[in-house]
Chain A
Amino acid sequence: MAAERELVRWSAARLAEALAAGEVSSVEATQAHLDRIGDVDADVHAYLHVAGDDALVRAAEIDRQRADGTAPGPLAGVPIAIKDVLCTSDMPSTAGSRILEGWIPPYDATPVARLRAAGLIPLGKTNMDEFAMGSSTEHSAYGPSRNPWDLTRIPGGSGGGSAAAVAAFEAPVALGSDTGGSIRQPAAVTGTVGVKPTYGGVSRFGAIALASSLDQVGPVSRSVLDAALIHDVIGGHDPNDATSLDERWPSFADAAREGAASGSLAGLKVGVVHQLDGSGFQAGVRQRFGEALKRMAEAGADIVEVQAPHFEYALAAYYLILPAEASSNLAKYDAVRFGLRVDPGGSTVEQVTALSREAGFGPEVKRRIILGTYALSAGYYDAYYGSAQQVRTLVQRDFDACFTQADVLVSPSAPTTAFRLGEKIDDPLAMYLNDITTIPANLAGVPGLGMPIGLAPEDGLPVGLQVMAPLREDARLYRVGATLEAILEREWGGPLLAQAPALGSAASRSDRIRTTPGTAPAPGYGTEPDGGTL
């Protein structure tokens, strides 16, 4: 039992080695994580669905293949959590929405299919803001997830479930998706690692679409190397996604290993984006960011300031482009082909569609669909959507200019540490500001990595660093991230997450903070609390 508890703290890389050496079986590793989920997930609520016995059956199958010498790859037998935005043919895929409650897709998303082919064991589906619209998981139709560092605080969003799952040792690694920061911002507030790959680097086939020109699937983990290992598995060209880049990618795991081993950033030009340098951010975020820059400089990096004058307009452009694309993508929920149907009888199909969407969508989804419909409507299209697309060009040009002066760009991953559940739920504009540092990368398609750089002195909560690289240069993120991670972990005497409080049965009574009820999104101006069973 003690050994099992220990297993859940292992990285995917260490588990893979132990599995290959026969020191541990996949059934043991999977069972240990299922036990951990059973112990802590009532408090954390990272999962919407747990695979349970199905995961153990698959693990036993991998153990047999390993014994026969036919294990499908180095990560075979390693458990993984999957964000509920990704279609899984054997588990419900709801994207955090009532409108897809219980829906089991007839196919796997490409990243999921690739995980299965590599022998990884899906543990379950993780919670998220409905259709990935949010920065806190409070917009999930199934209730929020909680931050393992403090159960009264948000785990970030939209991928708060995946980040909380790895931070609470309920999975060694997970998949996320990042449209405006949904991998990197949760990583920041939970003290974990997450990567948004270059747009087109990972297939979007089977990822339930939010905004197609911004969405990107990526890895969530507790170490830079683990993220790289998963990226190596899920990445690469997929003919089923017309925006998938058809090219050969280097091994990101090799890049991470090189970075960790070298210990040096000599010759690396690190650009601090003046517009994202943290002025106006929480004091502890600014302090740790400044210290991280100092460590990089000590390791030989050349720190330069760069200007991205149009980043100031990125948030506004994003909140036009995203709703516009979302309003179009979400038109598919018509109560005909799949999902919820609310039919009071005697209504036309159009009325049934409208009633079903009223009942099945939460307040944030409605807000963005209506906003997107407005931005795309005749008479406003040029002024709003058209202008936003022009800003997108300007943001790309800013990145191009910055990357002539620096090899990577850095900023804090988020303006604050984890805020309290309920704190921003009634103020959409305040919620949107959480992604101010992460949105420019999505608009330009460039890759970004989020990693922990310490705890804010004022609240003891994790602070994240964002590292961005030019298009297709994802390997650079892993190399630089692994070097900095090794330096910081030496300084901390281990991973940052070793400092996180105990959870579940291991926690003392006073550690186990019970959250107050009423933290879920208020139903007042949206759907009925039960999802609208008319």
Chain B
Amino acid sequence: MTDAPEPVVITAADVQHLAGLARIALTPEEIEHLAGELTQIVDSVAKVREVATPDVPATSHPVPLVNVLRPDVPGAVLTQQQVLSGAPDASDGRFRVPAILGEEQ
């Protein structure tokens, strides 16, 4: 992006939307507070756009490795009991969860 950075304002509505995407039930006070803080933080990190010209490739990993594969044989895996050992709720060898659908669904 080489277009001139314009000041970004993150509103309470934006934070509420993001909190929904991130599955965190923020309180109204938290949302208000985060909106101000995130506006400030985003303003400060937006400077990356100053030098990110189209000719510069992106780097995702510091030491790129390709085709990291292993033989297609069963590895050492956890037992069912081990997998369920930390679950808040389990029954019949499965994770037990609250209702998947709400009433209106």
Hey, which bits of chain A sit against chain B, CB under 8 A? 103-107, 198-200, 213-214, 239, 242-243, 245, 310, 313, 316-317, 319-320, 327, 331, 334-341, 343, 347-355, 357-358, 361, 363, 366-367, 369-371, 373-374, 377, 382-384, 386-394, 396, 428-429, 442-446, 471, 524-526
Contact = CB atoms under 8 A, between A and B. Distances in A.
A261 B53 CA distance: 48
Interface string B7-37: 0001000110011011111110110011001
Given A320-B48, A429-B44, A357 B97 contact: no
Given A366-B26, A373-B21, A348 B58 contact: no
Contacts of A382: 1
Contact of B63 (A367, A445, A524): A445
Interface of B: 1, 10, 14-15, 18-19, 21-27, 29-30, 33-34, 37-38, 40-42, 44-53, 56-63, 65, 68, 70, 78, 82-83, 85-89, 95, 97-102
A178 to B, nearest CB: 13
Contacts of B53: 390
Contacts of B99: 347-349
30 contacts: A213-B61, A242-B65, A243-B61, A316-B48, A331-B22, A336-B97, A337-B87, A338-B86, A338-B87, A343-B98, A349-B98, A351-B102, A357-B23, A358-B26, A358-B27, A363-B30, A366-B34, A370-B19, A370-B34, A374-B14, A384-B42, A388-B45, A389-B59, A390-B48, A390-B57, A392-B58, A392-B59, A428-B41, A429-B41, A445-B62
Contact of B98 (A327, A347, A384, A429): A347
Contact of B25 (A243, A358, A367): A358
Nearest to B102: A348
A85 B60 CA distance: 23
B29 A358 contact: no
Contact of B62 (A213, A334, A347, A388): A213
A351 B98 CA distance: 9
Given A105-B86, A357-B23, A370-B34, 13 more contacts: A242-B65, A331-B22, A339-B86, A340-B88, A347-B98, A348-B101, A349-B100, A350-B23, A351-B102, A355-B25, A358-B24, A391-B52, A393-B56
B1 A387 contact: yes
A13 to B, nearest CB: 30
B102 to A, nearest CB: 5
A300 B44 CA distance: 42
Contacts of B19: 370
A366 B30 contact: yes
Looking at chain A's contact residues, the main secondary structure is helix
B69 to A, nearest CB: 9
A446 B62 CA distance: 8
**Considering residues B15, B49, B68, which has the most beta carbons from chain A within 10 angstroms of its beta carbon?**
B49
Give 10 closest A-B pairs by Cβ, nearest first. Answer: A445-B62, A338-B86, A341-B88, A387-B52, A389-B58, A106-B82, A390-B52, A354-B25, A525-B33, A358-B25
Contacts of A319: 41, 44-45
Contact of A526 (B30, B52, B58, B82): B30
A340 B24 CA distance: 13
A357 B25 contact: yes
Nearest to A392: B59
A330 B3 CA distance: 32
Contacts of A213: 60-62
A394 B56 contact: yes
A61 to B, nearest CB: 24
B104 to A, nearest CB: 10
Contacts of A103: 86
A495 B94 CA distance: 55
A394 B48 CA distance: 11
Nearest to A310: B51
Contacts of B82: 106-107
A386 B58 contact: yes
Contact of B42 (A214, A369, A371): A371
Contacts of A393: 56-59
B5 to A, nearest CB: 8
Nearest to A354: B25
B88 A336 contact: yes
B94 to A, nearest CB: 11
Contact of A525 (B30, B45, B60, B78): B30
A360 to B, nearest CB: 10
Contacts of B41: 319, 367, 371, 428-429
A284 to B, nearest CB: 27
B10 A374 contact: yes
A354 B18 CA distance: 12
Contact of B15 (A341, A370, A442): A370
A374 B59 contact: no
A373 B18 contact: yes
A341 B86 CA distance: 11
Nearest to B86: A338
**Considering residues B27, B62, B85, which has the most beta carbons from chain A within 10 angstroms of its beta carbon?**
B62
B86 A370 contact: no
A106 B78 contact: yes
**Considering residues B37, B85, B98, which has the most beta carbons from chain A within 10 angstroms of its beta carbon?**
B98
A106 B78 CA distance: 8
B85 A374 contact: no
A468 to B, nearest CB: 13
A500 B24 CA distance: 44
Contacts of A526: 30
B1 A354 contact: no
A177 B31 CA distance: 31
B63 A198 contact: yes
